[in-house]
Amino acid sequence: MSITYYYAPMSTAERTTWAVEELGVPCERVKVDLKKKETKTEDFLKLNPNGLVPVLVVDGVPIFESTAILLYLGETYGVEKGLYPAPGLKRAETLKWIIWANVGFFEPLNRWARNKASYVPAEQHNAAAAAAAKDDLDTVMRVLDAALSGKNYLVDDKFSLADLATVSYLGWLQFMGYDYTKFENVKAWGERCQARPAAVKVRGG
């Protein structure tokens, strides 16, 4: 099997890079320079017409969208590694959190960033929209904090791709200046997950 993985640090590819590292996926890694617009070249757009990373090319078939890549890696490598359940209720529970991370969590986070981040032109910011997104993020954090009550991890109380898919957005929250540390269960869980050797290696570049 031939696998090529295209990624960039400090992007949504960070979660898939962590998964590749965590699962020991045998692949050729290609670091893409976003500042040089390497995702907008003709060759890259043939792999992902959206012009974004990550992209995983398996036997010539490109897979884009980080969640799709996580699910593929989970099904292909994660069951054996104990990071993704076999088909059944535990897998459904894992999928629930992976999809929630990409929809319930990411949506207000992205909305807040678009109206708050320094990399978005100030004239495009909307204070009311930012405040509404902040309130929605608070709600999301309460949901996550409650889910982690009395537990170390989200599913079956052991680290899995459900945790990886969700916790990977905490770094963006930190970058944006959102203080989630008041949610004690989330804070402890985040520290626990981010201390894993694979996560530390990915953050190191």
* pLDDT tens string 163-182: 999 999 998 888 888 899 99
Residue 3's nearest CA partner among 69, 98, 79 is 69
Note the pLDDT of residue 174.
Answer: 87
Fold of 3-81: Glutaredoxin (3.40.30)
Quick check: bond before 54 cis, omega within 30?
Answer: yes
Instruction: Name the pTM for this structure.
Output: 0.95
Average pLDDT, stretch 153-168? 97
C-alpha distances (whole Å) from 125 to each of 106, 118, 135, 171 are 18, 10, 16, 22
Rounded distance, CA 67 to CA 19, Å? 11
Rounded distance, CA 204 to CA 10, Å? 11
Residue written as token pair 């902040």: 134
- Annotated domain spans of the chain: 3-81, 89-197
CATH architecture of 89-197: Up-down Bundle (1.20)
Q: Please classify residue 197 by burial: count the beta carbons closer than 10 Å to its beta carbon, then call 0-12 exposed, 13-18 middle and 19+ buried.
A: exposed
* pLDDT tens string 56-87: 999 999 999 999 999 999 999 999 999 999 99
